[in-house]
Amino acid sequence: MRDEREQRFATIALSGSLRPASRWLPGSIKPQIEPDRAPQDIGKTLKRIARRLAADCALEAIDTETSADVYLGTALNLPLENESADAVVTSPPYYVTYDYLDVQRLTYLAFGWDLPAHDQIGRRYFISPDGFGFVPPSSMKAWYERYRKEETVLGRALRAYLNDLDAHLGEVQRVLAPHGIVAYAIGNSKRREETFDLAAALAELMVRRGFNDVEVVTRGQGTRRILPSGRDLKTGRFSSQTTSVVDERIVWARAPKGEKPTANQHF
C-alpha cells in the first residue's frame, strides 16, 4: 500500500483481527490460552474488524464541531505546559496484573516490532534491586515484606510500580490548573485470598503529594468487561467458571496547592 493512511488503517485492522484468530481466552486483555477454543478464520475476522473500524471512522467524521489534539508522551513525561489541564482522567496499570505490552504480543510478533518492556509502568521484569529510601504506602507495606522486598521479582516490581506512580503524580501536579480534578479508575484484586488494595495505595500517594479532597468510591460494573467474569482466588488464573474478584474503584482528588514542580523535574 502506497497511501500512508491506508497503511495505518490496514495495520490497525490486522492487529485487531489477530486475537480472535488465536486460542487466547476471549473477552480478556490478559494473554491466556483457552485449551478448548478453536481459532476463527483470520480472513473472516479481518473483514469484520475492518468494517467495524471503517464505521467508527465514518462516525467520527460526522461530528465536525468537536476538535481534539493528540500528543505523544508518557505518563512520566506529559507533553503539556504547567497548569494547562483542567482535569486528568485515566486508568493506571493494576501493578503486574495486566501487561499492556504482552497483551499485544501477537501484533509485535506479526510486524517484527521490538517490545519496549523497560518503558512500561507495572512491568514485572528488567528491574534492578534498588530499594534505598523506599517507603511503601501502608496498604502495600505487608505485601512488599511478603514478597521479600528486593529479593524477588514481585518485590522489585511492586517498588518500581509505586515509585513510577508517584513520579507520574508529580507530573500531574505540574500540569493541573488550580482546583483541577483527577480521576483514576483502578481495581483491587485478591491475592492469596487477601485484598490487594491498590486504590488505597494510590490515594495515600496522592495525599503525600498534597492533593486535596482525596476520595475512593466504588465503580459500577457495566456489561462490557476487560476481563472474563472470574478469577481463581488461589492461582489468580482467569476463567469463565470462577467467581469475579476484581473490585473496581474510582480515586478522585483536587490539584494540590502550593508551588508547582517544573517540567522534567525528578522525584
- Selected residue with higher pLDDT from 90 and 65: 90
pLDDT of residue 215: 97
pLDDT band at 142 (very low <50, low <70, confident <90, very high): very high
pLDDT, tens digit, 9 for 90 and up, residues 207-225: 999 999 999 999 876 655 5
Query: 247-254 and 194-196: which strand pairing?
Result: unpaired
Report CA 219 to chain centroid distance, whole Å.
Answer: 16
* Mean pLDDT in residue range 225-238: 53
Average per-residue pLDDT for the chain: 85
- The Cα 212–Cα 218 span in angstroms is 19
Grid cell listed for 63: 461530528
Q: How far apart are the first and last CA of the chain?
A: 45
Distance (Å) of CA 251 to CA 117, 154, 162, 185, 203: 27, 24, 16, 7, 7
pLDDT band at 148 (very low <50, low <70, confident <90, very high): very high
- The Cα 122–Cα 108 span in angstroms is 19
pLDDT of residue 117: 81
Query: pTM of the entire structure?
Result: 0.79
Grid cell listed for 23: 486460542
Which secondary structure element, helix H or strand E, spans residue 183, and what is its range? strand 176-191
pLDDT band at 77 (very low <50, low <70, confident <90, very high): very high
Residue 62 confidence (pLDDT) above 80 = no
pLDDT of residue 35: 82
Residue 82 confidence (pLDDT) above 80 = yes
pLDDT band at 200 (very low <50, low <70, confident <90, very high): very high
Cβ count near 14 (within 10 Å): 17
Distance (Å) of CA 223 to CA 192, 198, 227, 229, 251: 27, 23, 11, 10, 22
Output the CA torsion sign for 178, 181, 187, 188: positive
Which secondary structure element, helix H or strand E, spans residue 239, and what is its range? strand 238-239
pLDDT of residue 29: 62
- The Cα 217–Cα 207 span in angstroms is 16
**Grid cell 500517594 in the structure block, residue:** 205
Return left, alpha or beta for 259; rule: phi > 0 is left, psi -120 to 50 is alpha, else beta.
beta
For residue 120, the 8-state DSSP code is -
pLDDT of residue 230: 56
- Selected residue with higher pLDDT from 167 and 26: 167
